[in-house]
Amino acid sequence: MKDQYRVVVIGGGVVGASVLYHLAKFGWTDVALIERNVLTAGSSWHAAGGIHALNADPNMAALQAYTIDLLSEVEAESGIDIGLHMTGGITVACDPNRWEWLQGAQRTFQTIGIDDCHLMTPEEIKKACPIMDTTGVIGGLWADREGYVDTTGTVHAYARAAKKRGADIIEHNRVLELNWKGSAWEVVTENGTITAEHVVNAGGLWAKQNGRMVGLDLPVSPLSHHYFLTETIPELEAIDFEVPMTVDLEGFTYMRQDKKGILVGIYETDHQHWMMDGAPWEYGIELLQEDTDRIEKELMLAFERYPCLNDVGISSWVNGAFTFSPDGNPLVGPVESVPNYWLACGVMAGFLQGGGVGKTLAEWMIHGDTETDAWSMDIARYGEHQSNKEYIKQTTGQFYSRRFVMTYPNEQLPAGRPLRMAPAHDAMTDAGCRWGTSWGLETPLYFAPKDFEEAPSLNRSNASEFVEAECKAVREAAGLLDITGFSRFEVSGDGAEDWLNKMFATKLPKPGRARLAVMLSPQGKLKGDLTLFNWGDGTWWIMGSYYLREWHKRWFADHKGRDTALRDMSDDICGFSLSGPNSTKIMQAIQPDLDLSFMGCGTIDLGLLGCKVGRLSVTGELGYEIHCHANEHIALRRMLLEAGTDHDLKEIGFNAMLSLRIEKSFGIWSAEFTQDRTAAMTGMDRWIDWQKPDFNGRAAAMKDRDAGADQVLVTLGLDSPNADCSGYEPVWANGKRVGFTTSGAFGYTVGQSIAMAMVDKAFADPGTDLSVHVVGIERQAKVLPPSPYDPTGKAMRG
């Protein structure tokens, strides 16, 4: 063991070994992995080792596909047999809604390049897996790239491949302390102290304790997970092929062959947390006692699905602990409050996702950016308020129990809610508001009668009539939307303007003006579509999405400006958006002297309140964003509703806003705009001030502009009578896949289902005929000119 390394990776499971391997592969060879026990001790040694490319989250599916492709490469490089069995796999559905979901999922996987999957009939399923009883099965989804690995062999393969590239492996040496010394970490271990420029927490079951060493309480918890292995099954001895991996969605089980028996794993609905504060340090190569009473219901379903289980014995039980995050995705990336400290933990499917996690983190550390959008696993998707133990218990338990339960796009899950609420939340609830959640904050979706219940669905919701009424109110009169769910950062100081000019590619607004502001990475990729306000008194506001708050704050901290102060005001300031042709009448009913031009902003007295007001709206109508202190939110709502009584003002939710904005071809973050796309691809380059001599990403953006984008963002009109796109549906031209949707909604003003999509440039001209699979059904589509509603923008300019 040396006393100094560039990177120390803490944790010798599959994720830590993968991070070490990728760091060395990408050129950082002065790296070491420190393991308190032996490699695989913790969760890796007893994992079932299943691998499959399919995942409901397309970004995670792509991550898993990379991992699967990497396995044979690591096996060859290391010379260690990883026991790779590519049997193929089948996900079966008995419920019509699940079958509908599988049909749509197949098309989503095609979008991200997973073409080796197809739908199966019950007869085809039975032929591929003779030991399965297909009674009640409607169909299944086959994927070629499914199978399993030897877990111990795989970890050692990553480790040996890393060692061949110059990395060190240090076992039997627990990390005791982590101390930041201003420019490097002091890693205090049982066998001495190491100085490291960077530290990676790949602690698995011990990630919680490793985080607390640097003052972090990570949103992660272990849960126990059962699987069992059987004795030899005569039916398997009688066939000359290995049966595929199978997932029984209704039975909450997965199955794979193990020699001439099978392994059956269970995601029980009656979940069980274990050691929420982290595993004991002495724990390692141990298992928990099986609890068959708790999993009795799922066991019965497994014995019904695989009748051969009734005739063979169970050779062994495995009940081991795995760590889970609230949404089941890994926790990866840097932490704004702790320098040079990186996370690679909460990876509940390490052998399936570990390769992609290692690649992503290594790119992040070495290059400062990732090849693909890492948001699905970025630690910044959680804030300090989501590290509460009860929040973690509820949300991780909910994810575990719903591992094989389909969540509908319009379904609102209850765990960890309500956590944060706008001051007027109760009054809005009394008015019929139905709530969603964004980064722990309750956000309004739509308003409906108190006795209304929305039915979860992949198709257009039965709440559509209420959303349509809200859209009509905005287009014809006025709508009031709570915008507490936006982030707000105040920038001030002598260096504020210089810093903003560097951070944003956009021309800065003049005093008393607001502007859409594009933020780029040094590689020229998108880092934000924000709104910038210049209040004219030396202070500026950066306004964005509430759920991106920690992500943007980390980015700002990484690019600190001299003589510049940045303050996160998101918990102190909230407000309402007022939009529609009657908006100015309502505002002038409160403040007759109101005189604010389009994209103007200022401090305005509204009744007793001094509000920050901007004349802008994302609905495509004349509108105002009105900001107040949190303790004035209730009074502001009352005042606006009272002033709007004679002007048909109606409260609305974000479902209406999404419909209204897509009619204007207005993109949003995490849909049209992502951090793996460029300004030229998304049309955001029209907001770039190319005359500015210097801003982040300028050289890369200019190169991208001059080269031209291969894919561009377009608006599609669809012939889809009962369902709308949700994103990642494949777009086709004469049977060739030429793009994918980014988001969709029904446009109630134009009377058509609309989607936005990234398509090959050759198919981007208005009038081009295309087709899109919507919930698995191919629908005709046509490229529309931008902004199907009010293309000249006359309405929003007033």
Q: What is the pLDDT of residues 583-639, one digit of tens each?
A: 999 999 999 999 999 999 999 999 999 999 999 999 999 999 999 999 999 999 999
Q: pLDDT of 393-433, one tens digit each?
A: 999 999 999 999 989 999 999 999 999 999 999 999 999 99
User: Burial letters for 451-488: b for 16+ Cβ neighbours within 10 Å, e otherwise?
Assistant: eeebeebbbbbebbebbbbbbbbbbebbbbbbbbbbbb
- Classified as helix, coil or strand, 777 is strand
- From residue 325, give the alpha-carbon distance in Å to each of 45, 365, 536: 20, 22, 44
Report pLDDT for 583: 98
DSSP 71-135: HHHHHHHHT-----B---EEEEE-SHHHHHHHHHHHHHHHHTT--SEEEE-HHHHHHH-TT---T
Report pLDDT for 52: 87
Distance CA 223, CA 393 (A): 10
Distance CA 390, CA 215 (A): 19
Q: Which parts of the chain have pLDDT scores under 70?
A: none
DSSP 523-586: TSBEEEEEEEEE-SSS-EEEEEEGGGHHHHHHHHHHTPPTT-EEEE-TTTEEEEEEESTTHHHH
User: Burial letters for 669-699: b for 16+ Cβ neighbours within 10 Å, e otherwise?
Assistant: bbbbbbbbbbbbbbbbbebbeeeeeebbbbe
Q: Which residue's structure tokens are 């509820």?
A: 394
Q: For residues 540 and 496, is the Cβ–Cβ distance under 8 A?
A: yes
Report pLDDT for 238: 95
* Main-chain dihedrals φ then ψ at residue 52, nearest 5 degrees: -160, 145
Name the region of 325 (left: φ>0; alpha: ψ -120 to 50; beta: rest). beta
Report pLDDT for 775: 95
The H or E element that residue 399 is part of is helix 389-401
Strands 4-10 and 31-34: parallel
Q: For residues 744 and 699, is the Cβ–Cβ distance under 8 A?
A: no
Report pLDDT for 605: 97
Radius of gyration of the chain (CA): 27
Report pLDDT for 599: 98
Q: Identify the CA nearest to 400 among candidates 305, 521, 531, 266.
A: 266
Distance CA 195, CA 8 (A): 9
Distance CA 776, CA 223 (A): 35
Cα torsion angle, 653, 658, 664, 668, sign:
positive
Report pLDDT for 640: 98
**Terminal CA-CA length for the chain:** 70
Strands 175-180 and 146-148: unpaired
Query: Domains of the chain, with CATH numbers?
Result: 4-324 (3.30.9.10)
Which two tokens mark 332?
Answer: 């990866």
